[in-house]
Structure 1
């Protein structure tokens, strides 16, 4: 059971890091049967004109 909890904590940590390091973009979290199964991060680069 501790191994399962560690796995979930790692997923939450990855989500936290993805949010902290994202200036512009999107973070998609896919959940299946109440479990996080995929994290997609789309980063956008903004340039002043």
Structure 2
């Protein structure tokens, strides 16, 4: 999932350089959503690891 966030981030950077505002905004918003989902899943994984011990 983090891979998709990085891919959309790179697409957003390239689109911003080329001046396509709508494409850059869309790719950046998708990257943000995937990043936050990854953070939540990582925290849940850490917490479940602590509780299993």
Question: Shorter-chain TM-score category?
Answer: 0.3 to 0.5
TM-score (norm 1): 0.45
TM-score (norm 2): 0.42
Structure with more helix by fraction: 2
Q: Which has the larger radius of gyration?
A: 2
RCO comparison, higher one (Cα < 8 Å, 6+): 2
